[in-house]
Structure 1
């Protein structure tokens, strides 16, 4: 992925000067419905898939699959609405919007643009925390699986998460100083390979576990009252909704993907087909992962399928899957932090153009007749940002709770509210008309789901803080 001029992620495209130009003066776009589908699938399938078995355990065999199907339907429908906002005005010849934020500004104006930007930056900050937690837990899982392989399942193999979070933070501090990180186009390919590696491993291990058990575990309503209290059952159910929402979130880069598609046919037609193919594919994959994970472990399904009290053998496959998680998230952390880095640095560069500290770069000589430009503001600011996300992760090292909260906070505004409001504005749908009412009811329904999911996740975090002291998490 690359970073657009305004700091938001966009897909890497080859700039071939011999190609004829598009209507906006840029090189001719060559993407198709199939390439767009591949980009969406790559973006959607990620670490969120690892918590779906736990979500199923809270909802049960009836509500679990139904909720995932409903999320897939809502995601598909609102994605088609968002795709219709790629051009302002005429869907074939109108002005192109290159990013999600461009579409918001063109459709809803500057005030909503600022609100949307705030939501995005908060979401990106939270994702950085979630990725730090997930990476550390996967590194711990590698050490724990090798310990159990050596000492048996009865052996004590608890591991403290702090050293692994610090190691991840140090790596991100170094990577954050790489100039032109956004030009590393191969990063998307590596991320795609890694995400499919650990997702497929989780699915395969779940299938193997079911075959080993020779029975399907779980119940129609999920974890039973008795194992947990009635109120805890309620909060866990709400939190599960956030976990599922997090797994389906990709609206933030849909417009950027659409900007790679050629026309004719119109970008909207191609993107609607791509959305149908990709959401159907990922939904089937998600339902399989969630259902087989639940069938393998029943109500005791771990919060993270690859790192909880679940799979230890074959230990080498568990290790490969968790290493793939770490490799994926090391790069993904940087991709999702680049917009925040760019925004802050551009803001202060414009506000203090004469500042020696902010704008001056020093050339540092490296071996092999190479050099590296050091900017003091970038060095201090980016280092401080990574340290802050690492410290918060060490205080709140709770994968499921954080993932549920991120899903609750990010899904409704970015995947539902703004796409619906932009579509209403672009199509001029009259207020209180039947279609307007249906769209607003859908938005309000998803808002209610987001609120209860956020409450459930916050309650989960508070409960975990009562049992685990900050900076003393051992698993």
Structure 2
């Protein structure tokens, strides 16, 4: 009887032990999954560091917003004319500031949740699958397209510096200068997250303000040209109309920062007492003041001084003194280095998310090194093959850039907040949507005509 009791005791103890182990393993599974998810978020570039300050938001947004295209704004003014040109500049600034405010507000509109990426907000507004299909393709077209354009811009600016400082040197093809510019990104692209590129972004923001200031102050110093003419550049009505459409798109597409604004806000710490939207909005306001300081003087002074004879890059029109033009081009190079990284970081995040979460690759340096090197190489090769890609972006980018900047935030605001019909918020959003749809239609029409007219001069691998 004693032996039977001992056997029964061991059997009960073994059963209880097995049950406890099974229960513990069952409880550990979600915890392990939670730990894995946390470790992935701590590795991905958007969510790995959340200690940014409000001024990080300021210079990140300036770097993302102010592109080298600011130097072509006087040319756009020449195609728009004084009245429409000033109107479009002001409306674009106001509307994009409003839609940017909406995105900052929507970042944490669900208690306890942060929409760290543009497509996550889109999924909340339109549904899991539809949100991805609406946002991701458009965002990728803008970010990858802008990076390719910056590859070309950086290479051409280095070439311009070389020509100015060494006028007797043998001409070198643009392709080699693009490769020189790309070599910087083969190093910088391996910085892990947004906060790690803060110094690069700050330098880029300072440079954008610097070359914009050089452009309009040098123009003002040169003085109004004696034969200045403020009539439209086109000689006939058809040309004037199409040039107007093209310039409308060029001015509107100067505001592309919305494609990375949620990703920038994701780097700012947040709590119920101190939500991230307050420091983020402070940074955005500072950034938009700087954007106005860059855009408006260059556009208005450049057109005022040179009229309709201004080139599509005002630095070309200025020509002298050489050292100032060379310095401005150097500032452009430094700026587009930072801008490239700002737009590349969300692309890196998308690629690494798919590889780690969907394809189950292990988060490691090797994975990051390979994916980012391939991306930089891809943008470099496309820039070398198609050095006129900037003209194409004016057409193709219109379908993606205008929606993500001008009216997609408004549609999401209407879907999520559901303001009362015909209220101020409802009317304001519908006005922005109508203006944005007009840009999507009219901008690419003008851009397509420019591509067709210029196609005879296009040369691959030039």
Instruction: Say whether the fold is shared (TM-score over 0.5).
Output: yes
Name the structure 2 match of 1:154. Answer: none
1:141–1:296 CA distance, 2 compared to 1 (3 A): farther
* Distance change in 2, residues 1:461/1:394 (3 Å): farther
> What is aligned with 2:454?
464
Is residue 228 of structure 2 the alignment partner of residue 217 of structure 1? yes
328-337 vs 44-53, which moves further: 328-337
Residue 189 of structure 1: how far off its partner (Å): 1.7
The alignment status of 1:234 with 2:244, answered yes or no, reads no
Superposition map of 1:124-163 within 5 A? 124-146=143-165, 160-163=173-176
TM-score (norm 2): 0.77
Taking structure 1 as reference, are residues 190 and 30 closer, same or farther at Cα in structure 2, changes over 3 Å only?
closer
Residues 232 and 283 of structure 1: CA distance in aligned 2, closer, same or farther (over 3 Å) = same
Contact 1:69–1:283 at 8 Å: present in 2 too? no
| Equivalent residue for 2:109, pick from 76, 88, 103 | 88
Equivalent position of 1:447 in the other structure: 437
Q: Secondary structure at the match of 1:84?
A: helix
Partner of 1:370: none
In structure 1, the gaps of 5 or more residues are 15-28, 152-156, 362-372
Number of residue pairs matched?
419
Partners of 1:11 and 1:67 in 2: CA distance: 39
How many angstroms does 1:250 deviate by?
Answer: 1.5
Q: For 2:335 and 2:56, how far apart are their aligned partners in 1?
A: 21
Tell me the secondary structure at the aligned position of residue 429 of structure 1. Answer: coil
Call closer, same or farther: CA 1:460–1:391 in 2, change over 3 Å: farther
1:93-151 CA deviation, whole Å, 9 max, x = no partner? 66443343333333333121342122111211101111011112211221232356x79
- Unaligned 5+ runs, structure 2: 1-39
Note the 1:64-463 alignment, pairs <5 A. Answer: 64-89=85-110, 95-110=113-128, 111-146=130-165, 160-176=173-189, 178=190, 180=192, 182=194, 183-210=196-223, 213=225, 217-219=228-230, 221-225=231-235, 230-258=237-265, 260=268, 275=284, 278-306=287-315, 308=316, 310-353=317-360, 374-375=366-367, 378-379=369-370, 381-398=371-388, 401-402=391-392, 404-405=394-395, 408-430=398-420, 436=426, 439-463=429-453
Structure (1/2) with the larger strand percentage: 1
Residues in 1 aligned to 2:432 and 2:411: alpha-carbon distance in whole angstroms = 12
Trace 1:13-28 onto structure 2 (pairs within 5 A): 14=51
Distance 2:295 2:134 in 1: 31
Q: Provide closer, same or farther for how the CA distance between residues 261 and 450 of structure 1 changes in structure 2, counting only shifts above 3 A.
A: farther
Q: 1:74 to 1:352 in 2, by over 3 A?
A: closer
Report the CA distance shift for 1:440/1:311 in structure 2 as closer, same or farther (over 3 A).
same
Q: Distance in 1 between matches of 2:445 and 2:279?
A: 38
Residues 284-293 or 384-393, more deviating: 384-393
Query: How far apart, CA to CA, are the structure 2 residues paired with 1:350 and 1:301?
Result: 51
Q: Matched residues in 1 for 2:222 and 2:47: separation?
A: 39
What SS does structure 2 have at the residue aligned with 1:247?
A: coil
Q: 1:402 to 1:328 in 2, by over 3 A?
A: farther
Q: What SS is found at the alignment partner of 2:306?
A: helix
Q: How many angstroms does 1:322 deviate by?
A: 0.9
Query: Larger % of helix: which?
Result: 2
Give the corresponding residue for 2:8.
Answer: none
Residue of structure 2 equivalent to 1:61: 82
Residue 385 of structure 1: how far off its partner (Å): 3.4
How many angstroms apart in 2 are the aligned matches of 1:242 and 1:7? Answer: 34
Alpha carbons of 1:445 and 1:84: their partners in 2 closer, same or farther (altered >3 Å)? same
Relative to structure 1, the CA distance from residue 464 to residue 322 in structure 2 (aligned partners, 3 Å threshold; closer, same or farther) is: same
TM-score when normalising by structure 1: 0.75
- C-alpha distance in 1 between matches for 2:261 and 2:117: 8
Tell me the distance in 1 between the aligned counterparts of 2:219 and 2:359: 55
Q: Contact 2:102 / 2:410 at 8 angstroms: preserved in 1?
A: yes
Deviations 1:391-436 (A, max 9, x none): 4323443376246347624432212222112211232235687854
Task: Tell me, yes or no, if the aligned pair for 1:80 and 1:271 is still in contact at 8 Å.
Answer: no
